[in-house]
Amino acid sequence: MLDVKNSTEYEKVAQQVYQAILATDAVETIEVLHNVQITGRSGVAHQIDVYWRYLKYGIEHQVLVECKYYKTTIDLIHARNLLGLLNDIPNSQGVLLTTKGFQRGVVNLCNFYGISLKRLRDPQGSDWDGFIQKVEIEGTLHRTEYVDFSLKIDGKDEESVVTMGEDKTVSVNSLEMIFQEGTDSPVPAVTWLDRNVPFDKTQINIPLTITLSPPNTFIVLPSGKRVKIRSLDVQYVHSCRTLNFSFDAMDLVRGVLEDFNSKAIEHTLHH
């Protein structure tokens, strides 16, 4: 939503929109200003809501944006006022910007003199016609909590014999244990258990026990040396939780710049 409370805030949002457009346009922007005084050929100073000066192909252009934060359609006097500004400020283009729309006389006059008519408005559901606006995802999170496990070392493995022979006081905190499958990269014990303890959806919240006898798994000690595991007795509990996630693209869009005549959306201003 635009979430503006008065004309000044509306004008500043319009400035943000045109600055964003210019950042992607093939022109060299000189300045985009809010609430400035521009002196015309007559010597009279005119107040401009949003003033944009840019270079294109080496030629300087000026865009005068008049913003009307009204709850009703714009009447002819505003189009006449902008036409007067364009006549007094040479080499300028005019944009009449509002929230609702324009009366028929305004549309005819502005189309004849080349004044662009735009709406800067709140986003609406029809803006996403042909596109995906809302996404709803439901998923299930499976989790295994390891209550306890005990293991036996393979005393016949040569590497383990050497390791145990060098360090008679091997002590490892089970929560910090590192396992290595053969020559694969070492992983935390819980990660290894998640890969090797099967998840049974029929046994949710029931204490379970399993004995694993991995053929080639080692504990990596803090010293970097390894001992081979012969078997593990694991006590664990499965849990299951349903997750719901919803996303509405409209929540990301603050405002929409729409051409009044073609109804084409020219820019979306994001939060």
**How far apart, in Å, do the first and last CA atoms of the chain sit?**
9
- pLDDT tens-digit map of 23-37: 666 667 788 899 999
Dihedral sign (CA 9, 11, 14, 18):
negative
The pLDDT assigned to 146 comes to: 93
The pLDDT assigned to 167 comes to: 56
Cα separation, 194 vs 189, in Å, equals 9
The pLDDT assigned to 54 comes to: 82
The pLDDT assigned to 73 comes to: 95
The pLDDT assigned to 151 comes to: 87
Q: Which domains does the chain have, with CATH numbers?
A: 7-121 (3.40.1350.10), 138-244 (no CATH)
Low-confidence ranges of the chain (pLDDT < 50): 168
Q: Name the one residue in this structure whose structure tokens are 């080349």.
A: 114
Phi/psi of residue 144, each to 5°? -120, 125
Our CA angle for 226, 229, 234, nearest 5°, is 130
Q: Is 65:50 a contact under the CB 8 Å cutoff?
A: yes
- pLDDT tens-digit map of 65-76: 999 999 999 999
Q: Is the pTM of this model over 0.75?
A: no
The pLDDT assigned to 131 comes to: 87
Phi-psi region of 87 (alpha: psi -120 to 50; beta: other; left: phi over 0): alpha
The pLDDT assigned to 170 comes to: 52
Q: Where are the alpha helices (DSSP H) in 7-103?
A: 7-24, 76-88
